[in-house]
Structure 1
Amino acid sequence: MTFKIKNLIKTASLFSLAALSISCSEDFLTEVPYGEVSPSEITKAENVERAIVSAYSVLNGQIDGASNAYNSPASNWSFGDVVSDDSYKGGGGTGDQNNIHQMEIFNTTATTFDIKRKWMALYEGVKRSNEAMKLLNNSVEFDATLKAQRTAELHFLRGHYYFELKKTYNQIPYIDETAETAEDYAKSNVEFTSEQLWDKIEKDFELAISGLPETQSELGRPTKAAAKAYLAKTALFQNDWQKVYDLTSEVMGGSYALLPDFQNVFLPENDNSEEIVFAVQYSVLDGQPSNYNGSIGDRLTAPGGPFYSQYGFHRPSQNLVNAYKVSEAGLPAESNVNLTAEDKVDPRLDITIARPGVPYKDLGVNYEENWARDLSTYGEFSPKKRIVSAKSPFHTLVWPYVNAMNYYVIRYAEVILWRAEAAVELGKLEEARTLVNQIRERAKNSTYVKTLDGSADAGQYTISTYETAWTNAETARAAVRTETRLELAMEGHRFFNLVRWGVADKVINDYLAVEKTRRTHLTNANFVQGKNEYFPIPQEYLDNTKDKEVVQNANY
């Protein structure tokens, strides 16, 4: 039986044509020949479509048969959460995936495996997008109307890959569809300024907007509104608040909406719901060897215990758990004193994080601390929000233990929070309060986690909206940022938000000062301002481009 047939484009068929000159080997600078496909065959419509599918297929971070997309995860669980105050690496101690441990303590170097792997996966996406654009442009038999739409899709995909590269590595080489050889991909990373790079990324999304339809018959392909949302996100990362405000106005005037129940957002059967603006599409049991179309980048994050594989990575931090405490009024308590059973908490806590004594999904048992691998190092908490029930047909019980829940690149709740940020910066404080209250009202009205017998709530759940008018921008800004953390926790966004807010140094080092007293594996951790906001350019790229002007990021 195949699950997730609703997933667009079956990446299992990503390339039956001998690689079509598009797929790279372990080093993306390696030129790959056409193989068995002649130039006259490669521009046939069906083959061009395969090339376009191949550009989609690396969205999940899987670029070869090594099953280690967890070193280049689409979800950014290591790049966006483990290096923030939201989670620890987890696993079997600091030596298990020690490369990610080094990232966690900010001892990342240009030779750290994940740094190279993520770079390769994203540039593979760039290359496949570029090559598909060229094939599409050269195809005389491709339907003209559909060609315009597919070109727009490829601009969207390339914009996505470059956006991920820019927020991760900052000063990056830019290669477009005019590239012909491997040498064309060995370019300087200072050819363009940071502002010019953002302009190029924005241009891809603008072209996507102009060519994409309002709706897509195949789920997983981007729409015009999705491109507008992504363009808003690029503006967000540049603090272009009026542009964020205007674009989110257009997106919010469309067909997107918050699902009524927060828990339901993270069920695989709902992962192309009206809340999802754009997602990486996953499927399992679809004929692809080793279920590589599933959540291969997240396969180490299952919580262990009697139902799941004992990998135990991506473990929520004590700091994040404490962040869900609320005051008597039901608002964020902003307390980093360890949570107790008597504390009132935001109901999203037990949907996002597994706590001992609280039921886990629909499995009919309480999560217990002995589920957690290496309890003494990483504590008793485990991920929950993006873990699929072991009873679900969308979860596989055999290696590599993946599931078919999509990764949400952008969901509508984010768009609301982006607009709230822009509203604060534009002096529209009351509008910002109303927007944040939409998010909190949804959480308030969602189904709460119950005890095993269903007779009571599993925690002291209390949540209220902000009833007092916001008249101070600093207070409003802090409230929006707190809500962003609570709503999006464990979704791979936290570190990148801290960096763009310009507070990464203070927040992370304040976090470490306390967390080191709780978790000895963080003893040597230290965030260096002016360095650790971005990851280093991979050493292998520096070595392979010695005749180019390639500059390492500051202080590496």
Structure 2
Amino acid sequence: MNSLFKNIAVFLVIMTTASCTADFLTLTPTDVLTDANFFVTESDAQSALIGVYAQLQDESTFGNVVDAANLDWTMSGDLYEQDQNTPRVQLEMLSLPANNLYIGQLYAGLYQGIARANFVIGRVEQMDKLEAGAKASIIGQAKFIRGIFYLKLVNYFGGVPLVITELNASSKLDIPRSPVADVWKQIELDLKDAAAVLPIVWANSNDVGRATKGAALGFLVKAYLWQEKWGDAITASEDVINSKAYDLLPDFRSVFLETNENNKEILFSTQYSSLNNGIEGNGLDVRSAPRGASAEFIGRGANSNFVPQTKWINDFERDQTGKIKDQRYWGVIIGPGEHHQEMTDFVMPLAFPNGYTKTGYIVTKYWQKASVVNSGLNTPILRYSEVLLNYAEALNEESRSEDAMKLVNKVRNRAGLDDKPLNLAKDKTLDAIFNERRFEFVWEPSGAFSDLNRRDRFIDFIRKNRADFAKIDVDSKPWLAVKPILLPIPLAAWNVNKSLVQNPGYPAF
């Protein structure tokens, strides 16, 4: 999808000027780019759409940093954040103040993406001369992105202001929170509208990486799981599976390789490019590689921000000799004395220097080569293995536990693990599903806090798996007694929208 990156700057100019036209401006310039003379051709509309996709790249939204690392995997405790700066420690200890830096970034970044999507949807709908198929496709893609931004908002914050039209300088900005049910209804509508018009596979190779029908249905399943609409989740899952567009790759490591992007296992990933000096790239390789590693292996300074906790490593299934059997470990992790999967000359020292990693282990999922510019590696957001496990969860709730376990075993077999029994009780089947999530999706948006939270499993999980559980002092934090647990509405959001009411358990504004 590198061709989609070309005109982001054009869109940003339009976004900046779109809300700034004063009433006394009666002339329409023809030599200056404005919102009034921009949405004329399909090329204009596609350029604006690129800007909506661009917001996915932000670390605060779908860059797998703020949500996947800082929030989901650090809060569950399977990743350790080595910098230990104050806002990250707040998340790690589940203190969750309303002025937390990363919670504020998440909320603001998601609404910025929604604003861009609303802008494109509204303007393209007014383009009378745009061919009907192109119009439907552009609007469908924008609705898909708006839907997944709202899905992340309702996941973390519950009911939020529901804004589905373009706002400008004259708009009323004190917008109260909508009921959770209304937000879910809009998410379902957006994703269904997208699924109705988007292709299973894009015919033009330049379009690979755009939203597809399968991606829209896959996220719709996630929305159904949150709402416990098990039958709907089964139907949508079967639509994805029956499309035959996706499959598990035989080799787990190959799913994530930059040389194999947008492969058959990926329903949706955030697209990056290292071209143009890495302007459209990400820094996940720097966040992954051990601090102090030679430039030969990273190319620029490494931070080893997020490293696997020892408990997570110890819980991998092993053979009779004590060696880890699970190929997911060997695919994306290296520990003391082990060499990097691609850069085999790099070996983790047995006695590792301070700063390398607190635990002795490094995630290599996003660190595959040395680079002096930002990485062009795409970040996985929704994979086929999650489709299978989501489907299994819904089947289990509909008393089809044997069918569910067949799907669990399919994921396990790819990891080199033996089948689990098909006749497990319903609760044990759910345990098996969540166990596979934990080892399948490290440092991805699934498998940790959010999934555990929606099934009211989070507190029990950290009680069992976090060595520092007593230090967290769950009983002193009333927001952790709310079901589901919600993040606080950020103070910065309330400062500009006094209609916002804080979530239960937190101090009122």
Deviates more, 1:135-144 or 1:71-80: 71-80
Deviation at 1:186, TM superposition (A): 3.8
1:399-478 paired onto structure 2 within 5 Å: 402-444=374-416, 463-466=417-420, 468-478=421-431
Deviates more, 1:469-478 or 1:403-412: 469-478
Q: Partner residue of 1:448?
A: none
Q: Partner residue of 2:71?
A: 79
- 1:489-532 deviation per Cα after TM superposition (whole angstroms, max 9, x unaligned): 222321111101211112113333x346xxxxx94564842359
Match among 351, 354, 360 for residue 380 of structure 1:
360
Q: Partner residue of 2:38?
A: 42
Q: Partner residue of 2:341?
A: 361
Task: Indicate if the aligned counterparts of 1:509 and 1:526 stay in contact, CA closer than 8 A.
Answer: no
Aligned residues: 483
Deviation at 1:264, TM superposition (A): 0.6
1:246-325 paired onto structure 2 within 5 Å: 246-254=235-243, 255-285=245-275, 287=276, 291-296=278-283, 299-304=286-291, 305-306=293-294, 307-308=297-298, 309-325=301-317
Residues of 2 paired with 1:424 and 1:465: CA distance? 17
Residues of 1 paired with 2:284 and 2:336: CA distance? 26
Instruction: Using CA pairs under 8 Å that are at least 6 residues apart, name the structure with larger relative contact order, 1 or 2.
Output: 1
Q: Letter of the aligned partner of 2:196 in structure 1?
A: S
Deviation at 1:7, TM superposition (A): 3.2
Secondary structure of the structure 2 residue equivalent to 1:16:
helix
Q: Partner residue of 1:196?
A: 182
Residues of 1 paired with 2:208 and 2:400: CA distance? 36
Residues of 2 paired with 1:291 and 1:436: CA distance? 38
Match among 48, 53, 56 for residue 56 of structure 1:
53
Task: Indicate if the aligned counterparts of 1:277 and 1:412 stay in contact, CA closer than 8 A.
Answer: yes
Q: Structure 1 pair 437/511, CA: closer, same or farther in 2 (3 Å)?
A: closer
Residues of 1 paired with 2:332 and 2:463: CA distance? 24
Q: Structure 1: which 5+ residue stretches go unaligned?
A: 1-5, 25-30, 63-67, 329-340, 391-395, 445-462, 517-521
Residues of 1 paired with 2:36 and 2:260: CA distance? 42
Secondary structure of the structure 2 residue equivalent to 1:206:
helix
- 1:175-213 deviation per Cα after TM superposition (whole angstroms, max 9, x unaligned): 002544474444112xx2112211111111011112212
Residues of 2 paired with 1:135 and 1:82: CA distance? 40
Match among 504, 529, 542 for residue 458 of structure 2:
504
Q: Letter of the aligned partner of 2:49 in structure 1?
A: I
Q: Which has the higher helix share?
A: 2
Q: Structure 1 pair 433/362, CA: closer, same or farther in 2 (3 Å)?
A: same
Residues of 2 paired with 1:127 and 1:70: CA distance? 16
Q: Structure 1 pair 353/32, CA: closer, same or farther in 2 (3 Å)?
A: farther
Secondary structure of the structure 2 residue equivalent to 1:533:
coil
Task: Indicate if the aligned counterparts of 1:78 and 1:492 stay in contact, CA closer than 8 A.
Answer: no
Residues of 2 paired with 1:69 and 1:197: CA distance? 18
Q: Partner residue of 1:242?
A: 231
Task: Give identity over the alignment, percent.
Answer: 23
Q: Structure 1 pair 111/18, CA: closer, same or farther in 2 (3 Å)?
A: closer
Q: Structure 1 pair 235/524, CA: closer, same or farther in 2 (3 Å)?
A: closer
Secondary structure of the structure 2 residue equivalent to 1:325:
coil
Task: Indicate if the aligned counterparts of 2:14 and 2:35 stay in contact, CA closer than 8 A.
Answer: no
Residues of 2 paired with 1:406 and 1:71: CA distance? 9
Deviates more, 1:255-264 or 1:343-352: 343-352
Match among 539, 544, 547 for residue 491 of structure 2:
539
Residues of 2 paired with 1:270 and 1:182: CA distance? 47
Q: Structure 1 pair 491/182, CA: closer, same or farther in 2 (3 Å)?
A: farther
Q: Partner residue of 2:26?
A: none
Residues of 1 paired with 2:97 and 2:503: CA distance? 11
Task: Indicate if the aligned counterparts of 2:156 and 2:487 stay in contact, CA closer than 8 A.
Answer: yes
- 1:131-152 deviation per Cα after TM superposition (whole angstroms, max 9, x unaligned): 0111111223322210011111
Match among 215, 218, 228 for residue 217 of structure 2:
228
Deviation at 1:283, TM superposition (A): 0.7
Q: Structure 1 pair 32/234, CA: closer, same or farther in 2 (3 Å)?
A: farther
Q: Structure 1 pair 363/75, CA: closer, same or farther in 2 (3 Å)?
A: farther
Q: Structure 1 pair 120/33, CA: closer, same or farther in 2 (3 Å)?
A: farther
Query: Are residues 1:492 and 2:481 paired?
Result: no
Q: Structure 1 pair 342/297, CA: closer, same or farther in 2 (3 Å)?
A: closer
Q: Structure 1 pair 327/482, CA: closer, same or farther in 2 (3 Å)?
A: farther
Deviation at 1:297, TM superposition (A): 6.2
Task: Indicate if the aligned counterparts of 2:342 and 2:368 stay in contact, CA closer than 8 A.
Answer: no
Query: Are residues 1:482 and 2:476 paired?
Result: no
Secondary structure of the structure 1 residue equivalent to 2:76:
coil
Deviation at 1:56, TM superposition (A): 0.6
Deviation at 1:294, TM superposition (A): 1.2
Residues of 2 paired with 1:498 and 1:381: CA distance? 24
Residues of 1 paired with 2:55 and 2:425: CA distance? 44
Residues of 2 paired with 1:362 and 1:18: CA distance? 38
**TM-score normalised by length of structure 1:** 0.80
Task: Indicate if the aligned counterparts of 1:21 and 1:32 stay in contact, CA closer than 8 A.
Answer: no
Q: Structure 1 pair 140/322, CA: closer, same or farther in 2 (3 Å)?
A: same
Secondary structure of the structure 2 residue equivalent to 1:551:
coil
Residues of 2 paired with 1:167 and 1:439: CA distance? 25
Match among 138, 142, 167 for residue 130 of structure 2:
142
Residues of 2 paired with 1:33 and 1:111: CA distance? 33
Q: CA RMSD, aligned part only?
A: 2.7
Task: Indicate if the aligned counterparts of 1:284 and 1:293 stay in contact, CA closer than 8 A.
Answer: yes
